[in-house]
Amino acid sequence: MTAFARRQSPSLLSRAAAILTLAAFIQPAGTQNPEMQQKVQEIKQSQAANKQQLAHYSWQETQTISLKGEVKKINTYLVRIGPDGQQQKQEVNAQPAAAPPSGGRLKQHVVAKKKEEFEEYAQQIAALAKQYAQFDPDTLQQAFQQGNISFAPGSEGVITMTIKSYLKPNDQVSLTFNRQQKGIQSFNVSSYLNDPSDAVKISAQFERIPGGPNHVSSMLINGVSKQLTVNQQNSNYQLAS
């Protein structure tokens, strides 16, 4: 080895060490924490098993739509999971048509148009809430690999988890998971539709069917900008024939 090479060796070694150190730091945050990985895996496995069990049930969903605190529409649906893994809903009590608004044709047209718009918006935010309520295991794993999951101390046997940028950039999901019952207890979501200015707040409570899967028992969806809420109650779970 030449004198020049001997003089350069310590510098090369230092650079190599620096590169290895940097590589360790740029790994996804979750992969460096085995305890966090274990918690995420526990929730993923629970959700996957729960989804399979829930596919054997049908249930009743009652949806109450309110605008500025005034109830506008109440619908009841029979719900089951289809072969594609998605919910299939059949309306079982179509609300009687309301009396036509007073006034001329122009006023009636305006009122009908506004009604159509708020009903469409209500279904959009309800569909968004359903996406969050399903907690897809693959999406959860992706959030973990990207370092977007954190945990906070919870009561004994309960995991409190926060997910950032879960379904949309800069959204946030906070949930509690019961490790003994192997099911989600509740969650809160701050999200939006197409634009972050169109904020949507979602909160849900879960219950377990005796001897069966965990499910959303109630969910409140708030379309903040339009002051429109959808209150969803799920009940009467039965094994599908």
Strand order of the β-sheet with 172-178 is: 87-91, 70-81, 57-67, 228-239, 214-223, 199-208, 183-192, 172-178, 158-164, 149-152
* More reliable by pLDDT, 96 or 205: 205
SS (H, E, C) 69-93: CEEEEEEEEEEEECCCCCEEEEECC
Residues 64 and 76 sit within 8 Å (Cβ to Cβ): no
Same domain, 225 and 107: yes
Amino acid at 76: T
Can you tell me the distance from the alpha carbon of 215 to that of 17, in angstroms, rounded to the nearest whole number? 51
> Is residue 5's pLDDT more than 50?
no
Query: Which CATH number belongs to the domain containing residue 149 in this structure?
Result: 2.50.20
Q: What is the mean pLDDT of residues 49-76?
A: 93
Q: How many domains does the chain have?
A: 2
Share of the chain above pLDDT 90, in %: 55
> Is residue 205's pLDDT more than 90?
yes
Can you tell me the distance from the alpha carbon of 174 to that of 149, in angstroms, rounded to the nearest whole number? 10
Same domain, 134 and 200: yes
Same domain, 205 and 86: yes
Label residue 32 by pLDDT band (50, 70, 90).
Answer: low
Distances (CA, A) of 71 to 75, 86, 91, 119, 120: 11, 28, 19, 12, 16
- Which pLDDT score, from 0 to 100, does residue 93 have? 75
Tell me: the pLDDT tens digits for 102-120? 566 766 666 677 888 888 9
pTM of the full structure: 0.79
Same domain, 157 and 210: yes
Can you tell me the distance from the alpha carbon of 29 to that of 159, in angstroms, rounded to the nearest whole number? 19
Same domain, 12 and 103: no
> Is residue 85's pLDDT more than 60?
yes
Same domain, 2 and 59: no
SS (H, E, C) 145-159: HCCCEEEECCCCCEE
* Distant-in-sequence, close-in-space partners of 9: CB < 8 Å, separation ≥ 6: none
DSSP code, position 163: E
Q: What is the mean pLDDT of residues 212-240?
A: 95
Same domain, 19 and 118: no
> Is residue 95's pLDDT more than 70?
no
Q: Which domain holds residue 20?
A: 1-32
Can you tell me the distance from the alpha carbon of 74 to that of 64, in angstroms, rounded to the nearest whole number? 5
